[in-house]
Structure formats: C-alpha cells, structure tokens
Amino acid sequence: MDPESSGTLQSPSTNSDSKTGSSKSVASSVEQREKDMDLTKDNAASPIDLECHIQCERITKILDEAIYKSKLAICLPELVKEYRLLHKVLSRPHMDDLIFIFEQYDNPLFSASLLNMAVMDDLKGGDVSLKNRLNPELGHLMYILNSYPELRPTVEEMIEKTRAVEKHAPSPGMEFLFELERFRDLMVRQMETTAAEELAVKINTRKLETSNEQLITRIKEYTLILKEESERFEQTISLKAELIQKLEHELANLNYDATVRLKKKILDSERQMVLATRTHAVKNEMLKEEEIETREAYENLLRQHLMEEKNQRARRFKVETQLLSWLQKYDLEMSDKQVELDEFSQKYDDEVDKCEELQKKLAEQDIEYIPLMAEREEEYHQEMTEKMNKFLMEHAARVIQHAWREVLINRNEKKKLKKLLKKIQAAAAPTELLQGKKGKK
C-alpha cells in the first residue's frame, strides 16, 4: 500500500490547523490511542486493524479538508476585503491573479464564453496565468487561498464571529457547515465503535421490536374496547338529541314571552327619552351662560401671555449676543490648534511611509523563506515514508518467520505420524498371519 495515498503522513502544522469545534476532543482521543499502541511488539495489531486505522485517518483528513474549504467559501466575501492581510500572506503572482479576478467580476469582458481559443492553446502549452482569460472562475480563487495555511486563524475567527451573530437564525451556509461537522464527528464515532458494541445495539433493537409487537397486540385489544364504548356513546347521544328537541320547543315559547316584555320596555324607554330631552334643554341654556364667562377669562389670560412673550424675546436677544461673542473666541483658539494638527498629520504620514518600506522588505524575505520551508517539509515527508516502509518490512518479516515456523512444526508432526502408522502396520501383519493358519486347520 502506498503511504502517500493512505493519508497518515501529515505535518504537525497542517494537522493542528484542521481541528475545529467539537471534533478536537475526538481527534485528541484517537491520537492518544495511537500513542498507547506499541506497533513494534509481537502482540501488535493485525494488518487488517492497521489498514482500518489508516483508512480512518484518511477519511478524517478528507472531511477536515472539506470542512475548511466550506469555511473558506463562507468567509470568502469578507476575506477578500482584507487587502492588507492578503498582501502580507500571498505571493506577488497570486496577488496579481486575485486583483485580475476582482477586476473581471467588476467589469467582465464577455459573458457568453469562458475561454477563447488562444487561452486553450496557452493552457495546453503550460501557461496557467489568468491574464488571457475572459471570465475567470472563483474556483481558482479558492485554490489560491486554500494553498496558504497562514489564513486559517483568520478564517476560524470569522467563523466564530458568524456563529455568535447567527446563533439563533443561522444562514444556509452555516447550517451546511454545522451538518458537515456533525457528520465528521459521527463518522469518527462510527469508525471507533467495535463489533461488540454494534452487536449490543442490534440485541437492544431486537428487544425493542419484541416489546413493540406486544404493544401492538395491546393496542388492538384497546381499539376493540373503544369501538364498543363508541357504540354505547352513540346510543346516549340519540337519547340526548330527543331531549334537545323538547328543550328547543320550550325555548320557542319562552322567546315569544320575551318579545312581548321587550315591547313593553321599549314604550317605557321612549317616555323616559322625552323627559330626558326636556332636562337637556335646560342644561344647554346654563352652559351658554358659562361659555360667556369663560371667554372673558380667556381674553384676560391672552393679554398676560403676550406680555410674557415680549419679555422672553428680550432675554433671547441677550443670549444670542453672548453666543456670538463665544463663537468668535472659539474661532481664534481653533486657528492655533489647527497648526498643531497639521504638524501631527505630517508626522503620521512619515510613519506610514516607513511602515510601507518595512512591508516591502518583509515580502523580499518571504521569497527566500517559503522555498526553504517547502524543502524542509519534503525532507520531513521523505523521512516519515522511509520509517513507515521500514516498519512494514519488519512486520512482514515477522509474519513470514512465524508462518515458516508453523510449517516446519506441521512437517515434523506429519513425519512422526507416518512413523507411527508404519509401526502399527508392522505389528498388525504377524497377527493376521496367525489368524489365517487357524482358519485353514
């Protein structure tokens, strides 16, 4: 089996960044179990167990990559706004490709076709740049951002913020991410469960099925009882319907009596209305006299309010003159402060220029640093593959030696059995001869 395809050889940096959320506890338990297993001893796990373990790690790695890519896709609209961070992390050609993609999506050249014939020829020749593309896809942007592990912490921070904001009503993308993380945890849990645990679950389900059948029989018995009770209930309802008809007839008689009484009450109320109108006319005259008195009081109050308004206008004029004098003083003081502000802004611009120069120097250093880290990663990968191959060879040699010993033991036992059979046959021959002589006599 190729160790590169198994997915077990991972660098510690990528492995630590891919753990997220609730899957960290499950992954740490798996790693602790790997440390406890000593694969160099004779009582080590069988090749099937090793293969299952390798496939388990491979599946978890694939799911972790899928979770990170989905997080990156969710954070993509916010991540492309962080121009300074992308400029620090990404290389110059990748940054140019990103800017070109943004420009094409802001002002696309064509919308019908994705590529022209010249671009197809360039791609076949090995030119993968985006300069000749008419409508570049966002898949290339995802590929660029996924190839930089330095963006993982920022992506995780953005996801945590969106989780806190969309806690009660998550978006479809966040719901997909939650379901994918749950699926990953469920897969790890399912791969960790043993055959004994699965058998116990099956036994429990069988018990539940038997109890369910018993409950179904009881439900059928109860349904029969309910049918009998419903028939009795229908009989009682028919008796009550007859009573209701009798009561309706009595109600009709009572309604007739009530209408007669209502007519009498209406006549009484009309008489009372006539008396009330007369009393209201008297009250209306009294209210007119009160209206004349209130108008006189209103005119007196209006005169008083006009005098107060004149006094308030005089006070307002004084306040406005004071405010104008204070504004003149403020203008004189702010002219002096403006000079100081200009000096501070000039110092700030100088510091910004220095920071840009330092960023350029850091980008030049990254050009030398990134290839060195890639060489170191390749050496680490090669060393781990050699160790894995050596371990597999040693394990295979032990298995072959053990099988050869069993073959030698079986051969020795077969030889012993053949010798015993020959001795038994040699001892049985003279007894047969004696029996034959007795028969002839």
- Dist. CA 407–CA 403, nearest whole Å: 6
- Dist. CA 91–CA 88, nearest whole Å: 8
Give the helix/strand (H/E) hosting 30. helix 23-36
- Beta-carbon neighbour count of residue 364 at 10 Å? 10
**How many domains are there within the chain?**
1
pLDDT at 118: 52
* Tokens 């951002």 belong to residue: 145
- Dist. CA 269–CA 272, nearest whole Å: 5
The 10s digit of each residue's pLDDT in 314-339 is 888 888 888 888 888 888 877 777 88
Higher-confidence position of 221 and 135: 221
DSSP state of 41: S
pLDDT at 8: 32
DSSP reduced 3-state for 303? helix
- HSE toward the beta carbon, residue 75, CA cutoff 13 A: 24
Residue 320: inside a domain, yes or no?
no
DSSP state of 134: S
DSSP state of 194: -
Confidence class of residue 35 from pLDDT cuts 50, 70 and 90? very low
* Cβ–Cβ under 8 Å, residues 58 and 90: no
pLDDT at 225: 92
- Joined tokens for residue 1: 């089996």
- Dist. CA 343–CA 347, nearest whole Å: 6
DSSP reduced 3-state for 131? coil
* Cβ–Cβ under 8 Å, residues 17 and 152: yes
Looking only at Cα atoms, what is the longest distance across the chain?
174
The 10s digit of each residue's pLDDT in 231-250 is 889 888 988 988 998 899 88
DSSP reduced 3-state for 211? helix
Higher-confidence position of 226 and 7: 226
Measuring CA to CA, which residue among 56, 49, 63 is closest to residue 19?
63
* Tokens 């009798």 belong to residue: 246
Q: What's the whole-number mean pLDDT along residues 347-354? A: 87
The 10s digit of each residue's pLDDT in 281-315 is 888 888 888 888 888 888 889 888 889 888 888 88
Of 121-130, 217-226, 390-399, where does mean pLDDT reach its minimum? 121-130
pLDDT at 433: 57
Residue 165: inside a domain, yes or no?
yes
Residue 176: inside a domain, yes or no?
yes
**In the predicted model, is pLDDT for residue 404 greater than 60?**
yes
Alpha carbon distances (Å) from 26 to 23, 244, 282: 5, 70, 93
The 10s digit of each residue's pLDDT in 49-103 is 777 778 878 888 888 888 888 888 888 778 777 778 887 888 888 888 777 777 6
- Beta-carbon neighbour count of residue 58 at 10 Å? 14
* Tokens 């007894």 belong to residue: 431
The 10s digit of each residue's pLDDT in 8-27 is 333 333 333 333 444 444 44
* Cβ–Cβ under 8 Å, residues 119 and 132: yes
> Residue 267 contacts by C-beta under 8 Å, 6 or more apart in sequence?
none
Confidence class of residue 222 from pLDDT cuts 50, 70 and 90? very high
Confidence class of residue 137 from pLDDT cuts 50, 70 and 90? low
Residue 183: inside a domain, yes or no?
yes
* Cβ–Cβ under 8 Å, residues 80 and 106: no
- Beta-carbon neighbour count of residue 396 at 10 Å? 11
DSSP state of 18: S
- Dist. CA 391–CA 40, nearest whole Å: 8
Residue 387: inside a domain, yes or no?
no
Residue 307: inside a domain, yes or no?
no
Alpha carbon distances (Å) from 184 to 116, 122, 343: 41, 40, 58
Residue 304: inside a domain, yes or no?
no
Segments forming the whole domain that contains residue 109: 3-195
* Cβ–Cβ under 8 Å, residues 79 and 144: no
Burial 62-96 (b: 16+ CB within 10 A, else e): ebbeebbebbbbbbeeebeeeeeebeebbeeebbe
0.85 surpassed by pTM: no
Q: What percent of the chain has pLDDT over 70?
A: 78
Higher-confidence position of 431 and 427: 427
- Dist. CA 314–CA 111, nearest whole Å: 72
- Dist. CA 329–CA 326, nearest whole Å: 5
Residue 42: inside a domain, yes or no?
yes
Confidence class of residue 440 from pLDDT cuts 50, 70 and 90? low
The mean predicted confidence, pLDDT, of the chain is 77
- Dist. CA 415–CA 185, nearest whole Å: 57
- Dist. CA 278–CA 439, nearest whole Å: 161
The burial of 156, by beta-carbon neighbours within 10 Å (0-12 exposed, 13-18 middle, 19 or more buried), is given as middle
Q: What percent of the chain has pLDDT over 90?
A: 3
> Residue 173 contacts by C-beta under 8 Å, 6 or more apart in sequence?
70, 73, 74
- Dist. CA 227–CA 254, nearest whole Å: 40
Alpha carbon distances (Å) from 5 to 59, 323, 347, 375, 395: 11, 81, 57, 20, 20
* Cβ–Cβ under 8 Å, residues 133 and 115: yes
pLDDT at 109: 46
- Joined tokens for residue 191: 């791969």
